[in-house]
Structure 1
């Protein structure tokens, strides 16, 4: 399981906002200016995460909203344990409980690094309809697109995932250059993490009670107990 290290909102945006890394390949004067602003004294005028309006962030959900059990997963697209969960236990959870109307599932992103933020921007770029399909592709290919230390190569690999899911290049560019959206998502993540005391991934909040990473059988026992 990956432990979450508290980070400042402005610090994450400065190293991974929705402009700098994508525009390395197609820079514009406006993008260059935004990059400079993000890298210079980011904490001087940073708005505290708790004061940011995050009402524009869409909750990514599956299943019936009035299902008897509600599960919130907190996960990072760069977390190997989260990838393992989604490649294995999540598929069984979806078939056994979500698609049968027993569980309402909510997925909330955690941002360890800029790469996870970029992946989130691309996954959300497809809207509610494509989010979980893109998420599956990101987790399935995680070891490929997270390898190496070249931000441009990683950004390009993430964009390829978006294109594979049917998102057009212009739409992807707009999503990846949306610094305001990136800032809002980071603030949303921090507000959620504070609310549920999330300190590792994956973490689960099942009917209001927090649990750390677990096997599918353990999760099944908890769900069946609540049903």
Structure 2
């Protein structure tokens, strides 16, 4: 039986998500760049960071797990970016959740409930299998992915009722909208400079080279 998306997460988080979506839609214009110091401050749940702490370029991505453009970046561009720049100490990469619908919030919660070292692998699988879990039988398909991290059914059910995690994700997303002008996904900040929309590897590489010290 098809799962109603609005039954996936607790009702209490939906009001907060509606506020988030409304705030995003009301942003009149996006900032060209932001304070790197402000951007570096993690949200209530903390950041998961890939790459060297002292890398000369920091990329922050705001993405919704139900966003097809975000999935395209994750599956087509990110593997090359990781191999050539993140793994070689030139780029520090920070992924931040920006859920624009309740199902994206539920998926983000599941990733956050996994062990910290499984967060990025979970996000990768969620993007790779987006067409399966984001279209039908959402709860069942999300649990299949959650099990890859060792999560039990009881842990999965408890995760989707965890209002602290839901609030942490929503609060960080609202801050991104209000302080940094993020109103669509994916949105990237490369050393504080805003770049909106899916980027090919060639486009991303050009932006990285521009940001690298000469």
Shared fold (TM-score greater than 0.5)? yes
Q: How does 1:55-204 map to 2 (within 5 A)?
A: 56-148=44-136, 153-204=137-188
1:207 equivalent to 2:195? Answer no
Secondary structure at the aligned position of 1:65 is classed as coil
Question: What is the CA RMSD across the aligned residues, in angstroms?
Answer: 2.4
User: Are residues 174 and 105 of structure 1, via their aligned partners in 2, closer, same or farther at CA, if it must alter by over 3 Å?
Assistant: same
TM-score by length of 2: 0.78
Secondary structure at the aligned position of 1:106 is classed as strand
Secondary structure at the aligned position of 2:135 is classed as coil
Secondary structure at the aligned position of 2:59 is classed as strand
Separation in structure 1 between the aligned mates of residue 153 and residue 44 of structure 2, nearest angstrom: 23
Task: Tell me the residue number matched to 1:219.
Answer: 204
Question: 1:217 offset after TM fit, Å?
Answer: 0.5
Q: What are the superposed Cα offsets for residues 105-147 of structure 1, whole Å, 9 maximum, x if unpaired?
A: 0001111111000000111111320011111111111011111
Which is greater in Rg? Answer: 1
Question: 1:60 offset after TM fit, Å?
Answer: 1.8
CA contact (8 A) 2:75 2:127 kept: yes
The structure 1 segments of at least 4 consecutive aligned residues displaced by more than 3 Å after TM superposition are none
Q: What are the superposed Cα offsets for residues 40-60 of structure 1, whole Å, 9 maximum, x if unpaired?
A: 9x59xx9xx9xxxx8531212
Question: 1:39 offset after TM fit, Å?
Answer: 9.4
Separation in structure 2 between the aligned mates of residue 112 and residue 169 of structure 1, nearest angstrom: 26
Q: Which runs of 5+ in 1 are unaligned?
A: 1-14, 23-33
Count of equivalent residues: 184
User: Are residues 222 and 55 of structure 1, via their aligned partners in 2, closer, same or farther at CA, if it must alter by over 3 Å?
Assistant: closer
User: Are residues 212 and 119 of structure 1, via their aligned partners in 2, closer, same or farther at CA, if it must alter by over 3 Å?
Assistant: same
TM-score by length of 1: 0.74
Q: What are the superposed Cα offsets for residues 135-169 of structure 1, whole Å, 9 maximum, x if unpaired?
A: 11111110111113xxxx21221121010232233
Q: What are the superposed Cα offsets for residues 168-189 of structure 1, whole Å, 9 maximum, x if unpaired?
A: 3333222211023212211111
User: Are residues 81 and 55 of structure 1, via their aligned partners in 2, closer, same or farther at CA, if it must alter by over 3 Å?
Assistant: closer
Q: Which runs of 5+ in 2 are unaligned?
A: 24-41
